[in-house]
Amino acid sequence: GDSVTQMEGPVTLSEEAFLTINCTYTATGYPSLFWYVQYPGEGLQLLLKATKADDKGSNKGFEATYRKETTSFHLEKGSVQVSDSAVYFCALSESSGGSNYKLTFGKGTLLTVNP
Amino acid sequence: NAGVTQTPKFRVLKTGQSMTLLCAQDMNHEYMYWYRQDPGMGLRLIHYSVGEGTTAKGEVPDGYNVSRLKKQNFLLGLESAAPSQTSVYFCAGYTPGTYEQYFGPGTRLTVT
């Protein structure tokens, strides 16, 4: 079955540091890939997505590129802020015919950014 | 628009009690999902629905039942709560082609 493996945290960075959170996946078909973010006490929000190989998703300074050859979708940001402190989830969804579009999640990575 | 809402936000149950969690959406989503979030486990799918009147099992369905009598509501029931069902429960809605599931704020359930 499908699975997502992401870097385990917690990750603690200073403001303006570079962020990378690794994510790799296994899937039977051609999945869409996502990064969701969960701020303290809230539900999940879509941060960015990529629906086919070589697509780059980007939002709020975060980027991730869909690499089919390495089955990866690593999240990066050049300069993190305190407000980026949250839990980040990598996820995939199969979009083949008859799919239920369910999300398969990684275990999440807690990011803390200190001033 | 309220988006996806969940009721209640918090609940404490004793082992063996029953309860129903309500998910409501005003975004006209065809698909709806119930996930549970446990520390170090990410989110796991409990049940889902692909339309009004339909339901199906997800990855961890045991001990839960669901109903979708109206398109805008998706109910999750616990008939006899167990401590292993202590978790945070999230509902989500989805419209095919949009590539984004919209999540509710969650319900924190503790079973003692």
Tell which A residues from 4 to 43 touch B, by Cβ distance under 8 Å: 4, 32, 34, 42-43
pLDDT score recorded for residue A100 = 82
**Which of chain B's residues have a Cβ under 8 Å away from the Cβ of A25?**
none
The distance of B104 to chain A (nearest Cα, Å) reads 6
Highest mean pLDDT among A21-30, A39-48, A55-64: A55-64
pLDDT score recorded for residue B40 = 84
pLDDT score recorded for residue A94 = 83
Give residue A97's pLDDT band: very low, low, confident or very high (50, 70, 90). low
Distance (Å, rounded) from C-alpha B107 to C-alpha B88? Answer: 5
A12: pLDDT strictly greater than 80: yes
What's the whole-number mean pLDDT along residues A24-46? 92
pLDDT score recorded for residue A115 = 95
First-to-last CA distance in chain B?
A: 36
Q: Which of B54, B101, B102 to mutate to test the interface with A (most CBs of A within 10 A)?
A: B101
pLDDT score recorded for residue B12 = 97
Distance (Å, rounded) from C-alpha B75 to C-alpha B65? Answer: 8
* Contact present, A21 and A109 (Cβ < 8 Å): yes
A and B: number of Cβ contacts within 8 A = 50
* Residue spans of chain B under pLDDT 70: none
